Amino acid sequence: MTAESGTARRPMLAALPRFSQQINRVLTWVVVGLFVVWVVGNFINAPKQFVSVFLLGVTLGSIYALVALGYTLVYGIIELINFAHGDVFMWGSMIAVTVSAHWLGLDGSQGWYVTAPLIFVTLLACIAFCGTLNVAIERLAYRPLRNAPKLAPLITAIGMSFILQNAGALVYGFIEQPVPDIFPTKPLFRIGGIAYTQKSLLIVLITIPVLLALVYLVRSTRQGKAMRAVAQDMDASRMMGIDVDRTIAFTFALGGALAGAAGLLFVMYQTSTRYDLGFQLGLFAFTAAVLGGIGNLTGAAFGALLIGLIQAFNEGLSWHTPGSSWTQSVIFSILILVLVFRPQGLLGEAVSDRA
């Protein structure tokens, strides 16, 4: 664009932002208002049902949070939307089935003192596998394109997603991979006829310390500071003596490890997985990351919680609710609305990088 065309267009454009900012604000409040009315209406309509659906949403949200953090970590450091991330998560769920049910022979009949350590072994296997897989993807597919235009690694990521998905189908077939109920399923309490099970609580209890550990790692450790520095200025980081390639690889390892843990929790919760799990769930988690403000850790966790709640509300409530066949439409409408009206996300801020 030349300077002349820039100045010629300015009068028209200058009028636009003020106008659209007002519309923006009004529409945002209308959407948020309708959402609040809908939530409160449902609560009044059936308070008990609401509470149990809410708890379900928290469980779903914590699984999404683990996946969403992988998107946000990678985006934060190299500004790449790693579309293959959902499929790494799918592989995590597959490995969880293979190791826990097929290799270790867990089927829910063993006592907790047998199950707990073996589940821990499975978790380590998932983390190791997905962490390594993600690092390998970065090394083979993204690093050679580090200095290429941004579109190149993005398209590569989509290709990588297809490769992983098809590899999953090749190894595990096109059918559901079932796994017995290994996590304890005894109901802790019942509200409105729906049981809140031990496994739902267990998933939340595993997720929270993982999230806290991650925040600590990024905020306060040497490696975490290196990640933040590389995210802000790669060349300056090199000049400070940070090994940029290693820091990026570490970020992918961390994202992969989280996806591996999420894969295990997901398959233990749903008791089945499939080769195309990563596509839908990956996009849900990606929506969560965008909703919270991509690149922002707290935002990703918060966005994931919201997406989990919205999905649970949509599928479990009854007052003016679209129902489960509309879940994807609802969630991707949210993605579109956020991208149009608040692209920096709920918690993201338009930060200036002056310095």
Residues at the site binding another protein, with contacts judged by CB under 8 A:
222, 225-226, 228-229, 232-233, 235-243, 351-355
Residue 228 CB contacts under 8 Å (≥ 6 apart), including other chains: 218
Q: Which is nearer to another protein, 2 or 352 (CB)?
A: 352
CB 68 within 8 A of CB 303: yes
Closest approach of another protein to the CB of residue 232, in Å: 5
Q: Which is nearer to another protein, 242 or 258 (CB)?
A: 242
Residue 289 CB contacts under 8 Å (≥ 6 apart), including other chains: 68, 69, 71, 72, 75, 299, 300, 303, 304
Q: Which is nearer to another protein, 186 or 222 (CB)?
A: 222
Closest approach of another protein to the CB of residue 151, in Å: 19
Angle at 206 between CA 294 and CA 138, to 5 degrees: 45
Closest approach of another protein to the CB of residue 216, in Å: 15
Distance CA 288, CA 282 (A): 10
Closest approach of another protein to the CB of residue 336, in Å: 29
Tell me which H or E stretch contains 139: none
Distance CA 52, CA 40 (A): 15
Within 10 angstroms of residue 254's Cβ, the number of other Cβ atoms is: 23
Q: Which is nearer to another protein, 70 or 224 (CB)?
A: 224
Closest approach of another protein to the CB of residue 246, in Å: 9
Q: Which is nearer to another protein, 146 or 228 (CB)?
A: 228
- Report the residue count for the chain: 355
Closest approach of another protein to the CB of residue 225, in Å: 7
Place of tokens 């409040």: 29
Closest approach of another protein to the CB of residue 139, in Å: 16
Q: How many angstroms separate the Cα of 55 from the Cα of each of 82, 89, 262, 287, 337?
A: 30, 23, 18, 21, 26
Q: Which is nearer to another protein, 247 or 273 (CB)?
A: 247
Nearest to 160 by CA among 87, 63, 222, 61: 87
Closest approach of another protein to the CB of residue 296, in Å: 11
3-state secondary structure of 329: helix
Q: Which is nearer to another protein, 14 or 239 (CB)?
A: 239
Enter the tokens of residue 145. Answer: 């394109």
CB 257 within 8 A of CB 210: no
Closest approach of another protein to the CB of residue 146, in Å: 13
Tell me which H or E stretch contains 157: helix 151-172
